[in-house]
Amino acid sequence: MTSEADLYAPVKDLLARQGYDVKAEVNGCDVVAVKDGAPDVVVELKLSLSLDLVLQGIDRLGVSDSVYLAVPAPDTPGKRRNWRSRRRRVLKLCRMLGLGLILVDPGGKPGRQTEVLLDPAPYQPRKNNRRRSILKTEFVSRRGDPNTGGTTRMKIVTAYRQDALRCAATLNGSDGMTLADIRATAGVPRAGSILQNNHYGWFERTGRGVYRLSEHGQAALEDYRPVLPDITETEHTQNQKA
């Protein structure tokens, strides 16, 4: 069974081959490597990539700008599957924290027992202007604050769902309304695409440009009854409250 001590020799060999003088257990650091003209390197060894290891690595950034986390390479099919599913997120986390990452295979061939997946470097996040714009548009388009942070069981009330609910509330109790009347009464400019696409199955077309509420739509109004008052409030009512 692999122990943390088994990781030391391959990591030491990796650094020594790069010209570093390497010593273990220096002032609480698992591995310290020093070379003239290069930043001191600190490596923390653990048998799994855990929160404790990440926190330990962050702490070591106080003594070195070049800190690596070293963990055993996955050695079973199950572990390899789990690692593949996590790899991208793990590397992103280490990159954001400025930490390097080394996989160690103590049983591998000499000189091939380590794989450096990431070197430490200052993190410079790439801004995604499209995602930022979508986020801001969704925030501005929502009426009120219909969701509870951290909710997992209830469906999120998006701006699109709010507009669909406003159309449904407008049709409630009606045998049918024209699209123009629904758009004007609900105050939803995109009512046409919402009713025609009928993404939630809440609407039924009864004639050309005429719609009514389906059974699913009736059920939705019951499900979302707590948030309907804020969603269906007209701008005139809002201005009166203000």
pTM of the predicted structure, to 2 decimals: 0.62
Class of domain 4-118 as given by CATH: alpha beta
Q: If you count them, how many residues does the chain have?
A: 242
- What's the pLDDT at 151? 63
| Section 200-229 average pLDDT | 93
Q: Where are the domains of the chain?
A: 4-118, 129-236
Higher model confidence: residue 237 or residue 2? 2
What confidence score (pLDDT) does residue 241 get? Answer: 42
Q: Taking the domain 129-236, which CATH number applies? A: 1.10.10
Is the pLDDT score of 235 beyond 80?
A: no
The region of weakest confidence among 78-87, 117-126, 155-164 is: 117-126
Q: pLDDT at position 125, please?
A: 67
